[in-house]
Amino acid sequence: MSGTTESTTTRTDLTATGRTGLGDSAFRILTLLAGLVVLGILVVVAGELLVESVPNIAHEGVSFLWKTQWSTRLNRYGALPFVTGTVMTSALALLLAGPVSLGIAVLLTQYLRGVLREVFVFLVELVAGIPSVIYGLWGLLFFSSIVTNYVTPAIRATPLTALPFFGPVGASSNMLLASLVLALMISPIISSFSRESLVRVPQDQRDAGVALGLTRWEVITGVVIPYARAGIVSAVILGLGRAIGETMAVTMLIGNTQQVTVNYFDPAATMSSLLANSFNQTSNPLANAALFEVGLVLFLVAFVVNSVARAIISSISHEGSR
């Protein structure tokens, strides 16, 4: 009787093992296909941008990146004004949004409790989901007057005017306005992902800091944030990627003026705003090829930024595991 039971149990285990092995194989194949689809989309997008850019690459060469003139009449195309505008607006937005977003994440995870925390978390996630065109309309119809009447004079009254970044005021629609709205747009994204990283810090780490006599502030700055730094860096880079690729809000606020400037009070243009304003607006094949090349540059910038972020996160993770 016991022999029969043992035999039945063995057959059941073998059957279960066989089913599990088949399920694992099927799931592995499905995930592999999903990964290949993502890789395929990446290759197709990059390939299409490259193929469509070839006429302008042959016409302008590498100098396309540092030429400043963009003229469909003369068939001369340079991307430097748009690259500069993208870098300037994204850099200031990240500089402003990074500390604020981290502060919001710390507030939500270390200080607020219960219903109040849930309400604030919901509000942050709600703001993160607002369409960019709404930010653009709000910035154009309401926030621009605040920047013109209050923010700009306040900056002009400080020693910051000695820097080339805050020179004479050029126009109400400028890089400063676009950067401030961009900062507002990416702050909820960075704070949301930073909060997730801070929540995952083991309670044992906090308790150990308290046991050593550290204050709450010392625990947060010396234990919690260093432990979650890889996730925080990921959140910051994700926000930077959003800022670099943002189109509608920036197009509505930056002034769309082709010029190379580092003065935030001047109007400018970004690669995204150029594409939004100019694509399918001309029948000139070379002009369209130049626009595709701008798209290719934007694609490569995003790829490089994410690759650098991945390397930084990997380095931080290795240091933390030592």
Banded model confidence at residue 285, pLDDT cuts 50, 70, 90: confident
Dist CA 313 CA 308 (whole Å) = 9
Question: Tokens 């990416």 appear where?
Answer: 186
Q: Kindly state the average pLDDT of the residues 203-230.
A: 85
Helix, strand, coil proportions of the chain in percent (round to 5)?
Answer: 80, 0, 20
Dist CA 229 CA 202 (whole Å) = 14
What radius of gyration, in Å, describes the C-alpha atoms of the chain? 26
Q: How many CB atoms lie within 10 A of CB 125?
A: 14
**How confident is the model over 38-90, as pLDDT tens digits?**
889 989 998 998 998 998 888 888 888 888 888 888 888 889 999 999 999 99
Q: Kindly state the average pLDDT of the residues 216-222.
A: 86
Looking at residue 202, its pLDDT comes to: 86
Distances (CA, A) of 188 to 90, 103, 121, 191, 315: 16, 11, 10, 5, 26
Banded model confidence at residue 318, pLDDT cuts 50, 70, 90: low
Element (H, E) at 291: helix 285-321
**How confident is the model over 5-46, as pLDDT tens digits?**
454 444 445 445 455 567 788 888 888 898 899 889 989 998
pTM attached to this predicted model: 0.83
pLDDT cut 70: percent of the chain above it: 91
Question: Tokens 């016991």 appear where?
Answer: 2
Burial class (CB in 10 A: 0-12, 13-18, 19+), 116: exposed
Element (H, E) at 249: helix 248-253
The DSSP annotation for 139-159 comes to IIIIIHHHIIIIIHHHHHTSG
Dist CA 157 CA 252 (whole Å) = 27
**How confident is the model over 113-153, as pLDDT tens digits?**
888 888 988 888 888 888 889 999 999 999 999 999 999 99
Beta strands in the chain (DSSP E): 70-71, 76-77
